[in-house]
């Protein structure tokens, strides 16, 4: 099959990802589960080489030969856009495609917390969306930017690797920069974005000290900065940002972060009970006075208690969210347990709610 036919099959089956790897047949990820397409023949090295040639430019092929890995975007007209990752394994290429819709889903369509609408309209500060790879961070950010685009007049600059969702100007004007094609690094792009009269800057990944440092400075100087980290909860996110800096700078960073942070939203995806798609579960930390004081005084270990007790302010722990999803029969107990970083605590919060279901949980 040609690559466009495989991608059409992927879309038709509602898969989020397509994996091409020797010597397996194509494998789709549907509702989080890997499903080999056994009716298709196994792939050999030549098959994947031809697909690689079809989806890349000479410059991209040269970059892959140099770095042995490559990220790019690929589109099929009238079908969808795809984020593509290419790497080498056991002397052959492995290619993964992630589907990105041409249309940007809304916050309401995705069932995301309504709080996101309020956060993205803030005039300044730092908002962090965190979670493991494949947890939906990019889609959440796209929905937030699109909400801003429909409601405020702002100059928005995004720095992405690669560009996935394509924005069109509504009330905002939006410039999208692709790492590799439009800029050499997140840190450099962020510095130059500050000279481009921005109101809002989206940093696709805050992966190093210079990027994090510049993002904090941008938030300090009156910009709204949205970024992502590969952390699993709010406490880990705050600690990761601080720990990136040398020990003699960490006190100053705590002070800066306590002043500019607006929110941390850690998300994960769970399959819906009954196999009808997936749903995002969030841990939400809002930077109120108590949270700012804990960050400044290096008492981040107390943040979970604040989140548990400040539900009226929109905060919630991941366990609280998971417990609610179980009680509403949206996800199974077993899936919730596997996503929880504190399954024993989650089990206690579900005591009395269907002992048989709890006994079936996988911890």
Beta strands 155-160; 200-203: pairing state: parallel
Q: Look at residue 284 and give its three-state secondary structure.
A: strand
318 vs 328: CA distance, rounded Å: 15
Residue 311's pLDDT band (cuts 50, 70, 90): confident
Q: Is the pLDDT of residue 276 over 90?
A: no
Domain boundaries, the chain: 3-100, 107-316
DSSP, collapsed to helix, strand or coil, labels residue 269 as strand
Give 167-209 pLDDT, tens digit per residue: 999 999 999 999 888 998 999 999 999 999 999 999 999 989 9
CATH fold of the domain at 3-100:
Beta-Lactamase (3.30.450)
Instruction: Give the tens place of pLDDT for each residue, 118-156.
Output: 999 999 999 999 999 889 999 999 999 999 999 999 999
Q: Is the pLDDT of residue 106 over 70?
A: yes
pLDDT of residue 102: 87
Mean of pLDDT values over 285-291 = 97
Average pLDDT in the 104-123 region? 96
Q: How far is it, in rounded angstroms, from Cα 182 to Cα 318?
A: 37
107-316, which class in CATH? alpha beta
Model pLDDT, residue 181: 83
- Alpha-carbon gap, residue 228 to 358, rounded angstroms: 34
- Distances in Å between the alpha carbon of 292 and those of 127, 254, 266, 295? 14, 9, 18, 5
Q: What's the mean pLDDT when you consider all of the chain?
A: 93
User: Mind listing the pLDDT tens digit for each residue in 212-270?
Assistant: 999 999 999 999 999 999 999 999 999 999 999 999 999 999 999 999 999 999 999 99
What gap in Å lies between CA 157 and CA 144, rounded to an integer? 14
**pLDDT band at residue 357 under the 50/70/90 scheme:** low
Lowest pLDDT segment from 60-69, 126-135, 305-314: 305-314
Can you give the pTM of this predicted structure? 0.88
- Stretch 290-315: mean pLDDT: 93
**What is the reported pLDDT for 356?**
44
Q: What is the pLDDT of residues 191-200, one digit of tens each?
A: 999 999 999 9
Q: What is the pLDDT of residue 182?
A: 92
Phi, psi of 229 (to 5 degrees): -135, 155
pLDDT digits (tens, 9 = 90+) for 344-356: 999 998 987 754 4
């Amino acid at each position: 099959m040609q690559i466009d036919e495989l991608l059409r099959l992927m879309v038709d089956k509602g898969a989020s990802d397509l994996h091409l790897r020797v010597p397996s047949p194509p494998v789709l990820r549907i509702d989080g589960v890997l499903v080999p397409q056994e009716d298709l023949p196994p792939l050999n090295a030549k098959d994947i080489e031809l697909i690689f040639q079809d989806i890349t430019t000479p410059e991209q092929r040269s970059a892959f030969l140099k770095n042995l890995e490559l990220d790019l975007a690929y589109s099929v007209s009238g079908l969808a856009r795809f984020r593509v990752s290419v790497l080498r394994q056991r002397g052959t290429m492995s290619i993964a495609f992630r589907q990105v819709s041409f249309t940007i889903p809304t916050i309401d369509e995705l069932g995301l917390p309504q709080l996101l609408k309020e956060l993205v309209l803030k005039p300044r500060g730092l908002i962090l969306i965190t979670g493991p790879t494949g947890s939906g961070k990019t889609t959440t950010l796209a929905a937030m930017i699109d909400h801003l685009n429909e409601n405020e007049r702002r100059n928005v600059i995004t720095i992405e690797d690669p560009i996935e969702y394509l924005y069109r100007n509504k009330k905002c004007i939006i410039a999208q920069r692709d790492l590799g094609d439009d800029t050499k690094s997140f840190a450099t792009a962020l510095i130059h974005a500050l000279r481009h009269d921005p109101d809002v800057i989206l940093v696709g990944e805050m992966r190093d000290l210079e990027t994090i440092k510049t993002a904090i400075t941008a938030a300090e100087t009156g910009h709204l900065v949205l970024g992502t980290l590969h952390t699993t909860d709010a406490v880990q996110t705050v600690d990761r940002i601080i720990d990136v800096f040398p020990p003699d700078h960490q006190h100053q960073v705590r002070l800066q972060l306590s002043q500019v942070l607006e929110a941390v939203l850690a998300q994960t995806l769970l399959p819906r009970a009954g196999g009808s798609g997936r749903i995002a579960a969030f841990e939400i930390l809002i930077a109120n006075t108590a949270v700012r004081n804990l960050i400044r005084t290096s008492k981040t270990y107390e943040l979970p208690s604040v989140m548990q007790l400040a539900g009226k302010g929109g905060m919630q722990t991941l366990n609280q969210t998971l417990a609610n999803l179980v009680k509403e029969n949206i996800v199974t107990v077993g899936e919730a347990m596997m996503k929880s970083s504190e399954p024993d605590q989650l089990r206690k919060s579900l005591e009395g709610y269907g002992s048989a279901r709890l006994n079936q949980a996988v911890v």
